Amino acid sequence: KQWYQRRVRVCSASPTYSNIFNTVLETIEIPFFDFEKEPGWGQAAHLPDHVILKNCSTSPHCEPPTFCQDMRNMFTFRATKDSSTIFGESKRTLVYYLDSNGKWVLQCTL
């Protein structure tokens, strides 16, 4: 879910790039950004691998095996979710920490 949130930010209408890793606390902090459902993105989830690689990667031969499926998941996410689904009405920053199993877990909202 977290990876999709970052990718969705890049694909939103007015993306801004920011450092989301807090080096002091070793957490990922995703500040609120506004986006709406865009049903058209759902069509991209049905594209064949070679089309996704050609249009979504600068180095198709270097992508991990999960790249195309990850992109399809992001397309579906973008088509079915909006900012209130992720951030709620509070519009708070989401803070994640890395647990002992190597998974990013929502710690709190700021």
Could you tell me which of 41, 39, 32, 42 has the C-alpha nearest to residue 84?
32
- For residues 57-76, average pLDDT: 94
- For residues 19-28, average pLDDT: 89
Q: What is the pLDDT of residue 15?
A: 55
| 68 and 25 Cβ atoms separated by less than 8 Å | no
Q: Which helix (H) or strand (E) holds 27?
A: strand 27-30
Whole-structure pTM value: 0.69
Q: What are phi and psi of 89, to 5 degrees?
A: -75, -15
Residue located via tokens 């890049």: 10
Could you tell me which of 106, 109, 85, 84 has the C-alpha nearest to residue 97?
106
33: pLDDT strictly greater than 90 = no
* CA gap 75, 100 in Å, rounded: 30
